[in-house]
Chain A
């Protein structure tokens, strides 16, 4: 198993602490009009207590689907998770009953979403929507839950929380709504917070605030964060580790310095080169050719070879394994 090698290396390398979430061979099919699409196809992933892992990739590479699969939030009508292992604190989430999984969601693993505009229920008050979590997971009554809610709202930096609890989502700005989402997600002090593009729909100034808030609370509450993003700026800002995904698979995994200083996979290099920044200041941006492959019609061999400028004969025929290339840096490429 390639991943086990990686795990050993991670432990030997930096020794950041205990592993809280391990995903092995996650395969999720989504139903489309003309058949099933393997949106996530054999993803491996590992998260340690208290760290921030960024998952990066182009849109459609399976980042969000992977997150929803971990949460058990792929509706039966929309897709199916093939057998896989999602080990969370020693339990395999894939084997839990729906009721057991419900008890974990929102309490031990939480999630916030991209669109704070549509992710809150427009006809219920903020207070009701946050206090629900306390009532569902900690058995508080309405009044106690409301008190906790007000505390939680002030923790995420919402001014005048006593007044805000009686308001509705449409009365709040986008940034405030995302703060409410964060309050909801962190109210039970979860071990893992999955944030699916939490800042993409916000103004640039608000983006930084929200990112800062997540960082602060993560440190204060000791929550591990999986931050899904396509924005390498966010990665540089927030991540300790990075997982790069391409066409439903992991192609590179390393710590954040390794990613920016020593990217190994051609796709990662392409991503970095296509972003304007100080590194390539004054140069022409190097844009990758082509677009992400159709998941229903994948090329044989390496999924990236049609766009890879270093591709060789073997890239066309055999799929590279995701292996440790030293010091906990994992990469799926024949050329390394």
Chain B
């Protein structure tokens, strides 16, 4: 009979629960992701920029902080893009191509570190709120709402103003604001997972809370957290560049895209568009990459949840 044949062809793992299901989810997810051309383009963009950041010294000719005016004089100033300087030079004769490549290090570093911090805080608080409910949930949900009440950039700006300058504190400041989005998703997910039979069974069987959370609940919230973290990378990179643009970010002369755009815009009147243009394109490419990849991951791993707005 033809129907039986069709049934056998359907992969069985989607029906299973626990580890088997998670395994199937990842494999199916990857298969779906590979089909998604936009997501693969995003992955490529992120990968290329990340590789460029890692191998920066090997693919650049100049040091990003080397001011060529000291060795070559005024003719090294504001050189338009060309063979020697792909992206031109700035007023100090620094090679913009090197600065853009090295700038990726700062952006990715802050993006990854802040995301890690916000995921740790967000998963912990979200899981506690969703698992225990009651007062813990009330307090944490209230905290999430309060954090959401502040404009993201302004909140970080205020935090940075009170903290002594430095990269680690910036990670912390961004992470402290960004966790709420993760926490909100984790809380919702835990609330729904804990209702499922196998978790209830583990609870009835008298499993310890910590063990149940780690063994049964965390594997199930991994997918939405990964999606949220990927999309969050984009907004954190954007945030870092805004801070640098406003002069509250990475201290010069360390190359940072936002800072270079700010410096370069003062020479737009002089026609030196490249100083601002290339760092901006780099930000756009990296953020676009993470957005495409995040959208694709969401569709691939968590089809129910598509269409959210993120922040």
Contact = CB atoms under 8 A, between A and B. Distances in A.
Interface of A: 290-291, 294
B187 to A, nearest CB: 29
Interface of B: 1-3
Q: Is the interface of B mostly helix, strand, loop or mixed?
A: helix
List 3 A-B pairs, minimum CB-CB distance, nearest first: A291-B3, A290-B1, A294-B2
B6 to A, nearest CB: 9
Nearest to B2: A294
3 contacts: A290-B1, A291-B3, A294-B2
A290 B2 CA distance: 9
Contacts of B2: 294
Contacts of B1: 290
Contacts of B3: 291
A298 to B, nearest CB: 13
Nearest to A291: B3
A291 B4 CA distance: 12
A294 B6 CA distance: 12
Contacts of A291: 3
Nearest to A289: B1
A69 B3 CA distance: 30
A290 B4 CA distance: 11
Contacts of A290: 1
A290 to B, nearest CB: 7
A294 B2 CA distance: 10
A294 B3 CA distance: 10
B7 to A, nearest CB: 12
Contacts of A294: 2
Nearest to A306: B2
A294 B5 CA distance: 14
A290 B1 CA distance: 8
B35 to A, nearest CB: 12
A247 to B, nearest CB: 14
A319 to B, nearest CB: 20
A147 B229 CA distance: 57
A296 to B, nearest CB: 12
A288 to B, nearest CB: 13
B9 to A, nearest CB: 14
Nearest to B3: A291
B178 to A, nearest CB: 35
Nearest to A294: B2
Nearest to A293: B2
B171 to A, nearest CB: 45
A6 to B, nearest CB: 34
B140 to A, nearest CB: 33
A48 B56 CA distance: 81
Nearest to B6: A294
B36 to A, nearest CB: 15
A291 B2 CA distance: 9
A156 to B, nearest CB: 37
A294 B1 CA distance: 13
A4 B18 CA distance: 63
A82 B45 CA distance: 45
A291 to B, nearest CB: 6
Nearest to A290: B1
Nearest to B1: A290
A241 B2 CA distance: 34
A7 to B, nearest CB: 38
B175 to A, nearest CB: 41
Nearest to A297: B2
A43 to B, nearest CB: 25
B195 to A, nearest CB: 26
A291 B6 CA distance: 13
A17 B1 CA distance: 47
B23 to A, nearest CB: 26
